[in-house]
Structure 1
């Protein structure tokens, strides 16, 4: 399911990239118009300077007219580019459409994954419930073996001759790493919600 969702999201991404690419193509056409206007502007400046040097008023006037026209065209296109870059690339309806598509896919995967995680959590809860009483029984047996049968009180004698009980001398099973992890994982509000979600899935 995860792969399918990723494929769908990649498909949506391709659509969005297509919209961006189309806008970029439109902008490139206008950028080219700006470059053309700049070229005409530069040529008109050179021609105006030369006409002034050669004392050709009509050529000078025409060059200045061409210069202003090129500047106006360049300004027009630059303003158009600024407007296009500022305006949204998609309409409100398209925005809502893509938002709904993405969230629907994530919701579908999220709900399916919750059911799977809830089922796994339920198994962990069962392991914990099965394991805890067994560990407790084992600890009680070790205690009986040491204290009742072996007559060892888990004590040591100090330099002054006083007997002191030490927990480190108790014959205990001390690897609680799994049971502690199970308690940490299966307790809490989030774990309860997952279990409830899994139970709802079973009731369907």
Structure 2
């Protein structure tokens, strides 16, 4: 009986090791940017777990269907929060639009990077100080004020920091929400209501 228990323990720990090893292999795959091409899906069938590989196009289609099928769209903040959470599972970006305005986030590394580009002709220049002000009211600070030893090994920034970069004729404000979907949902709603003044119009959400 004792020998049988030892064998069971041995197989149990082997199984745990395999699952942990697969988790970190997938995590590494994501962090190195390959997640944009292929996606690992874990599917449970009875007592067994299958690992499936799905192309990005199919993954995006399934994610878009899940977002479109959300049943509580009247609560726009919760709808946005739900969509952001879905996008974080492996999409490259998410665009949330209302009326003639939109808010966009990059999500390719499993984190929410608010992206606000300002260039001649796109009309965003007049919102520059308002966007920075809104980030500040939500306790965001410039990443230049944060010591570099707080940055994580995969290149992500600490929560609630933002960066202003200039490349050619484009100035970009990037807000690092990481995985804070609730905070990003509140911020997105404030962008429409307080910055854009877009209180009417149907909310449209697209991922890619």
TM over 0.5: no
Normalised to the residue count of structure 2, the TM-score between the two structures is 0.23
- Whose helix proportion is higher, 1 or 2? 1
Of the two, which has the highest radius of gyration? Answer: 1
Normalised to the residue count of structure 1, the TM-score between the two structures is 0.24
